[in-house]
Structure 1
Amino acid sequence: MSGLGPALLNSLEMGLLLFVIAVGLNIVFGVLNIINFAHGALYMLGAYLAYTLMSLAGLSFWVALIIAPLGVAVIAVVIDRLMLRFIYHRDVADSLLLTFAILLIIAESIRSIFGSNIQAVYPPDALQGTVSLLGGSYPVYSLFVIFSGLVILAGLWYLFNRTRVGKIMRAAALDRDMAEALCINTRMVVTGVFAFGAWLAGVGGVIAAPMRTIDPGMGDKIIIESFIVVVIGGLGSFPGALLGALILGAIYGFGGRYFPEFNLLLPFLGMALVLLFKPTGLMGKGANA
């Protein structure tokens, strides 16, 4: 592909995929006030569960897209009940250490089960092939990624702004003690939010599986990209997650096309510039969802 149009589509595709993954990280921080390094491992679990369901169980991509993220959410509930609940009221550094340990445990468990070889997941027949769009040939599956990202974006906006559940999550993020005084079961909210963030990571993992290689190190790369997104947009800010993801997507889409020799450096340069001039992120206003 050549021209501005394909670069724009690539940017949008990458940006919306990163949004789906990084917004879960941001929501968890906004409500639980923990920085979840294990988010990358949950994304990896989504991809590996999809691979298991499709390649070993013979199920379709669409079934895997439903079941795998739910499986990741169930695993997140177990993690929350067995480990994370003990550090919610402690220093953020404790959550960093614990979730990093969980990341390592999950990665090594995946390696022991599946080995270190690269696995592959293929998109369904309906999403294979290419179409002519904006002066270039563009994969149908990439359009599906863009569509999925937009649907999730609209769903999250509706959840946080138009539903009682979203308002409860926002209340717990703003003042957990006051929420408890209003008879909100914050313990259930905390577990539900962590599972919901894991579900989003799992969805991102399944969607990314046909685009990226599946290996035990894939969680490390995505957690770095997710942190770049939240640093640029603002930790704990839902609009910031979208803005940061679109900016990083544009860096990858246009940088990879016009400045390929600097493509690995550009995301970190963009993050450094934001930290230099706006340390709280472009839309960072504190811990809110």
Structure 2
Amino acid sequence: MSGIGAALLNSLDIGLLLFIIAVGLNIVFGVLNIINFAHGALYMLGAYLAFTLINIAGMPFWAALILAPIGVAILAVIIDRVLLRFIYSRDVADSLLLTFAILLIINESVRMIWGSGIHVVQPPDLLSGSVQLLGSSVATYSLFVIVIGLLLLAGLWYLFNRTRVGRIMRAAALDRDMAEALCINTRLVVTGVFAFGAWLAAVGGVMAAPMRALDPGMGDKIIIESFIVVVIGGLGSFPGALLGAIILGLIHGFGGRYLPEVNLLLPFVGMALVLLFKPNGMMGKGANA
């Protein structure tokens, strides 16, 4: 039981962290209809800013968790105003090419500023160590990631289903022209949604920093996993992002424990099976057609 319990907790830990990152990608596509290839780079930037604030500026982890995502969100506003505003009315392929270029720019900027070496961020003293749960030893920080993931999940659900801001975002996603006719400032909504997606990516980066070594290629790895999540769950679907993240978390959690020799292939096998039988994803538009 201890092995299964540890695999379940590890799956939940990985899955909720992936959800935090991938849901931002899904929200941006759902509202703005662009595929943000730079999402992984914004995640990486959040992790590196956290490293700078904690290891160089001497700030506590909790300050970095607040400040680093805000810094990335401000950068996202600049990117939106300077670059992305020109391609919102164009084909999705144009956004893919432009955000890929932004990804390359951020990657090279990170190498120039922080170098190509590996950096490490230690978890705060309050969350160091481990506890016994489900018959196995679990890192306290992993439980913290699970709690934050669940809180963000509840907060996002409340935002989209119970607040005026959420209704405005959904209206802009469904029909931007009609939203403008109802005196909604869609330009502000677009910028806000892109910044919010970047903020979520950076939160994921800060949360991942004490769990994973920081290197300039970490954004490339996470964008692949994020795309697997949205393909499995359905591009543009909020519940789909959660479902896809949990499925990928289970694949990593149990595959890493019981099938380590093929664990790297399992996410792609799962994605291929979903594309074969549910081309729009398990909860995407037209998934039940």
| Range class of TM-score, shorter chain | over 0.9
Which residue number in structure 1 is paired with residue 114 of structure 2? 114
Q: Could you tell me how far apart the structure 1 residues matched to 2:126 and 2:270 are?
A: 37
The Cα offsets for residues 4-58 of structure 1, whole Å up to 9 and x where unpaired, read as: 0000000000000000000000000000000000000000010000001011100
Q: Which amino acid aligns with 2:37?
A: F
Which residue number in structure 2 is paired with residue 4 of structure 1? 4
Which residue number in structure 1 is paired with residue 61 of structure 2? 61
TM-score, normalised with respect to structure 1? 0.98
Q: Which amino acid aligns with 1:43?
A: Y
The Cα offsets for residues 168-191 of structure 1, whole Å up to 9 and x where unpaired, read as: 000000111110010000000000
Which residue number in structure 1 is paired with residue 238 of structure 2? 238
Q: Which amino acid aligns with 2:88?
A: Y
Q: Tell me whether 1:89 sits opposite 2:117 in the alignment.
A: no
Q: Could you tell me how far apart the structure 1 residues matched to 2:113 and 2:200 are?
A: 24
- For structure 1, the 5+ residue unaligned runs are none
Q: Could you tell me how far apart the structure 2 residues matched to 1:258 and 1:120 are?
A: 28
Q: Which amino acid aligns with 2:136?
A: G
Identity of aligned residues (%): 81
Q: Tell me whether 1:24 sits opposite 2:20 in the alignment.
A: no
Q: Could you tell me how far apart the structure 2 residues matched to 1:75 and 1:270 are?
A: 34
Deviation, 1:2, is 5.0
Which residue number in structure 2 is paired with residue 201 of structure 1? 201
Q: Could you tell me how far apart the structure 2 residues matched to 1:55 and 1:42 are?
A: 20
Q: Verify the 8 A CA contact 2:24 2:196 in the aligned structure 1.
A: yes
In the TM superposition, 1:28-67 aligns within 5 A as 28-67=28-67
In the TM superposition, 1:245-260 aligns within 5 A as 245-260=245-260
Which residue number in structure 2 is paired with residue 279 of structure 1? 279
Q: Could you tell me how far apart the structure 2 residues matched to 1:154 and 1:12 are?
A: 16
Deviation, 1:97, is 0.4
Q: Could you tell me how far apart the structure 1 residues matched to 2:175 and 2:262 are?
A: 43
Which residue number in structure 2 is paired with residue 189 of structure 1? 189
Secondary structure in 2 matching 1:282: coil
Q: Could you tell me how far apart the structure 1 residues matched to 2:2 and 2:83 are?
A: 49
Secondary structure in 2 matching 1:137: strand
Q: Which amino acid aligns with 1:212?
A: R
Q: Could you tell me how far apart the structure 1 residues matched to 2:61 and 2:96 are?
A: 34
4+ residue runs over 4 A deviation? none
Q: Which amino acid aligns with 2:171?
A: A
Q: Could you tell me how far apart the structure 2 residues matched to 1:216 and 1:83 are?
A: 23
Q: Verify the 8 A CA contact 2:77 2:194 in the aligned structure 1.
A: yes
Q: Could you tell me how far apart the structure 1 residues matched to 2:142 and 2:182 are?
A: 45
Which residue number in structure 2 is paired with residue 214 of structure 1? 214
The Cα offsets for residues 217-261 of structure 1, whole Å up to 9 and x where unpaired, read as: 000000000000000000000000000000000000001111111
Q: Tell me whether 1:132 sits opposite 2:132 in the alignment.
A: yes
TM-score, normalised with respect to structure 2? 0.98
Q: Which amino acid aligns with 1:55?
A: N
Deviation, 1:285, is 1.3
Q: Which amino acid aligns with 2:30?
A: G
The Cα offsets for residues 44-97 of structure 1, whole Å up to 9 and x where unpaired, read as: 010000001011100000000000000000000000000000000001110000
Q: Could you tell me how far apart the structure 2 residues matched to 1:125 and 1:169 are?
A: 39
Q: How many residue pairs align between the two structures?
A: 286
Q: Could you tell me how far apart the structure 1 residues matched to 2:49 and 2:111 are?
A: 14
Q: Tell me whether 1:142 sits opposite 2:142 in the alignment.
A: yes
Q: Could you tell me how far apart the structure 1 residues matched to 2:208 and 2:3 are?
A: 25
Deviation, 1:135, is 1.0
Q: Which amino acid aligns with 2:127?
A: L
- For structure 2, the 5+ residue unaligned runs are none
Secondary structure in 1 matching 2:81: helix
Report the aligned-residue RMSD: 0.9
Secondary structure in 2 matching 1:3: helix
Q: Could you tell me how far apart the structure 1 residues matched to 2:8 and 2:87 are?
A: 42
Q: Could you tell me how far apart the structure 2 residues matched to 1:218 and 1:158 are?
A: 31
Secondary structure in 2 matching 1:77: helix
Which residue number in structure 2 is paired with residue 268 of structure 1? 268
Q: Verify the 8 A CA contact 2:2 2:134 in the aligned structure 1.
A: no
